[in-house]
Structure 1
Amino acid sequence: MTSVISVDAMGGDNGLTVTIPACIRFLNEFADASLVLSGNEDSIKKALGVDLERFGSRIRIVHATQLVEMDEQPQVAMRKRASSMRLAINEVKDGSAHAVVSAGNTGALMATARYVLRTLDGIDRPAIAKMMPTVSGEVCVLDLGANVECDPVHLLQFGVMGSQLMKAVSGKQNPVVGILNIGSEEIKGNETVKKAAELLRKTDLNFCGNVEGNDIFKGVVDVVVTDGFTGNVALKTTEGVAKMIGSFLKEEFSRNIITKLIAVLSFPVLKRLKNRVDPSKYNGAILLGLNGLVVKSHGGTDVDGFYYALLQAYHESQANVIQVMQDYLANNKHIFDLSIDLTEFKDLQSL
């Protein structure tokens, strides 16, 4: 299948200086893909140069007269109907593209995408889901910041969506789902997490129970479910630790002539390690739960990072992620009947 990816070419801290080189690299490597670039037409044409003619019909430009700023409030951004972000999302809504990629303002992207595309039937709120490396492959973690406060039903829905995403992209027929908690025992955690775990156990998902923060990267689960506040803290902590370890390695390898020699000898090993945990490869996050495939790139990403966000959108569109979810939700409506009676939970919350 030919994948058409819609790109918010103006989004992010660096705009066209990052998005266009990444798009050119992507088109060079994937002959069965084409791009729709939304933004200032003259600026895009200038940035593309001779590549515009070289790629021919594989590039289409949608002129945008407005730009969503990185610090703009979502309600302001949503009123910009001629923004590069809005027009890029419209391409998915209209069926002209299979996915959209943007490095723009996260809040604005989530609000606009939710307004334009709407949520899947059975899903109350979209979640930010991201793949992370583990010792044995990858794990999908959600939510990573879209929903700071969640009730058990939201966490149940995140578990369903994360499981179907992993099934579609990894080929695993029965992904293992865990819920992030402060202990592995069933009695641990707040009432929201405990009730969500109870609901997840009643589904046909391969739910293993609670997982702790140090389990995320062990490869014991395929999906980790959490609220957006906890998930975002876990993500930022992980990024901080990774940067710290990188700084320590550079410092130790540059101490003297001996350590520098060791660094040279260790280069092949260090290169393989970097390839396994390179944050650029995990730059993209999917806004899961919408009637369309939306991939969010980090706002400050470089060309490599945006390229990998495009690559993620390509692979997820090839895997028909949205259709897989729609089919599952349509055929398993009974799952959400489990969440109808939350009277006991709400009574506990009011104490």
Structure 2
Amino acid sequence: MSDLRAELFCDPFAPGVWRFRPLLSRIGYTFSELPWTVRPVAAVETRLEGEAADSFRTAATQAGAAADLPVAADLFAEGVPSSWPACEALVAVRSSQPEAARRYLDRLSARTFAEGEPPTSADTLAALAESVGVAGDVVRDAVGSRRATAAVGRDIERGRALFETLHAHEVRGDPEADELGARLSDDGGAADPADGGDDSAEHDDADAPSAPAAQRSLAGSASAVPRPPLVRIYAGDRTVVVDPRTGFDEFLDVLHRYDPDLGDLDWESQLYGRKVMTAYSIPDRTAEHLSTEPYGEKIRTILTALGEAFTAEVAACADLDAETVRLELRSQRADGVVESTDSGAWTLSNQTD
């Protein structure tokens, strides 16, 4: 296997992270061997009020609609709080238990968008950390500390450096940028690392193809950071930057270029029967109902891997129509196999995190 790993520039309050949650979950589920490092970039630097908050709320609503994910009716009704505390909590979880960071990001974003309660207090952030198996004190002690602030600052700096040298990477899609603003303080990088030294050296690839003109316009900017989410894939000393808007097949192409055996793609053989039916103009949902695939077993496997997931996420991971998944989940809930959380996500009954 190639030395593959992925880096996710993110923010739990960013509408784009909510919009592409099903896709990112599908990538994480399909390529479960691929290690991830989450890098929060504090997309909401300071509290937003008035028109800025209204615009942000509209973007969040549109993101939920595009992804078929719930958005609370009163989301950000009293303004949009800064995401700094949540980002500091995220780097603390990453430092303590790297494998729990992606799941923690998902819990933070679900609390924000689906429940309409953006977590900002140390106690709330600590309770959510405990829900993914991380000691609450790890987060409680980190939020507001210079150490955690410095760690977020270094992640922001990595994002800034990426856009400044975007021409040195192979780029899939057209990554969007946000203004850096005042997110980097003068002394932010001077504190001790809060992430256990996981800030490994950059793996720039000077021989990679140049980015298209639209992307080169972002490169060289010292005042831009990635608009979350954005993924950078490392393959040894080569890197590929992938905009999630390009879709699953783009990630599949990149990852299988370096490791054709990576991932669990057994579903392809089961899809074959459905593909034949759809080739003869049978609608997707009809083909799914005619198929003998064990959807219930597949859904339980996905929930075991993800811990909790929304219908759209399960559908993406299973490559099924959302309505097919919704009906199966309701049936399994009636049988006591799955249950719904406060956010509307699904989890296996009596499951412990």
Q: TM-score range by the shorter chain?
A: under 0.3
* TM-score normalised by structure 2 residue count: 0.26
Please state which structure has a larger fraction of its residues in strand: 1
